[in-house]
Amino acid sequence: MKLYFISLLLITTFSCFAQTQTFPKSFTVAKDGTGDFKTIQEAVNGVRDWSEVQVPIYVKKGVYREKLVIPAQKSRISLIGEDKDETKIIYDDYSGKNGISTYTSYTVLVEGNDFIAENLTFENSAGSVGQAVALHVKADRVMIKNCKILGNQDTLFPSAENSRQYYVDCYIEGTTDFIFGAATAVFEKCHIHSKKNSYITAASTSASQAFGFVFFNCKLTAEASAQKVYLGRPWRPYARTVFINTEMDKHIMPEGWHVWNNNENHLKTYYAEYDSTGDGASPRTRVKWSDQLNKKELRQYTLDNIFKGTTAWQPTTTAK
């Protein structure tokens, strides 16, 4: 009899473990309590670790004052706002505040692979106080669609060299080096707005990467007071940044590109343009260490080629 009860207990225990735990297929976040959660972080925490399917989190209109983290184990999250102008994630950390560095000053940090964001505003509201990141992305296979990314210095940080990121139909603004980092990142049909005389990009591409930052069919504008803006400067020696079919207003300097603090990083960089237009387009006056692509060189700049990596990735522009 005793052996019978032990056997029954073991069978029951294994049966419980064998049952698959169920997780919601989606979540809704609403500040007024009408959704599943009131904060975005709670919804992220509720997603199954290492999910094998894309999990949408729908975010209702509102200002969400959160320092949001998408951890590495929270893969395949789609964060979908109700309206990019009225669905905002805002925080105000900055480098030097209570031991915070540039790397930890983010409003939103993305570490989970296969992340999608759509119809949202990511904002660092610290003001002109130095480095203050709005969106810091370390993850691979990330798509940001129809979003606003707002800040001043160091607004957007696509940071990891093994990371592939795709930004489409986004508005990105800042002051100095406001798109910076080592990732392979494509910006398509984005509006890039400079708020003062300074530099747009500061790539830190590694020597092993074939591509760094690539801009397709973007538009570069500036505040009226910003009349001397450079396309970029190399944060690291092998920085790679290319502007293709980009409309540039008059705030772009004739030289186009600038050195980094008088060091020799620029001697190993790859800075190039193809068919830039507007008052800021001036191929004949660009610095000698930059390039103008020819049609043969242009052919390599496809999403398939840029994002091939060790495993192919072709981002879709429809969030699921």
**pLDDT tens for residues 156-183?**
999 999 999 999 999 999 999 999 999 9
Are the beta carbons of 109 and 68 closer than 8 angstroms?
Answer: yes
**What is the model's pLDDT at position 260?**
93
**What is the model's pLDDT at position 14?**
43
Q: Is 252 part of a structural domain of the chain?
A: yes
How far CA 198 is from CA of 20, 125, 187, 281, 291, in Å, comes to 55, 19, 20, 17, 21
Q: Which of 135, 164, 193 is the last residue of a domain?
A: 164
Q: Is 10 part of a structural domain of the chain?
A: no
More confident residue, 4 or 55: 55
User: 216: domain CATH number?
Assistant: 2.160.20.10
Q: Which of 141, 164, 187 is the last residue of a domain?
A: 164
Q: Taking 60 as the threshold, does the pLDDT of residue 9 lie above it?
A: no
Tens digits of residue pLDDT in 216-242: 999 999 999 999 999 999 999 999 999
**What is the model's pLDDT at position 104?**
98
Q: Taking 50 as the threshold, does the pLDDT of residue 1 lie above it?
A: no
Q: What integer is the mean pLDDT of 208-213?
A: 96
| SS3 state at 214 | strand
Catalytic residues: 154, 177
Say yes or no: 289 and 218 in one domain.
yes
**What is the model's pLDDT at position 21?**
55
Tens digits of residue pLDDT in 24-79: 899 999 999 999 999 999 999 999 999 999 999 999 999 999 999 999 999 999 99
Average of per-residue pLDDT values in the chain? 93
Are the beta carbons of 56 and 105 closer than 8 angstroms?
Answer: no
**What is the model's pLDDT at position 225?**
96
Pairing of strands 156-158, 135-137: parallel
- The amino acid at residue 9 is L
Confidence of residue 318 (pLDDT cuts 50, 70, 90): very low
130-168 burial, b for 16+ CB within 10 Å, e for fewer?
A: bbbbbbbbbbbbbbbbbbbbbbbbbbbbbbbbebbbbbb
Say yes or no: 123 and 232 in one domain.
no
Q: Is 16 part of a structural domain of the chain?
A: no
Residue 227 sits in which domain range?
A: 175-313
Say yes or no: 115 and 195 in one domain.
no
Confidence of residue 3 (pLDDT cuts 50, 70, 90): very low
Q: Is 138 part of a structural domain of the chain?
A: yes
Q: Which of 110, 144, 164 is the last residue of a domain?
A: 164
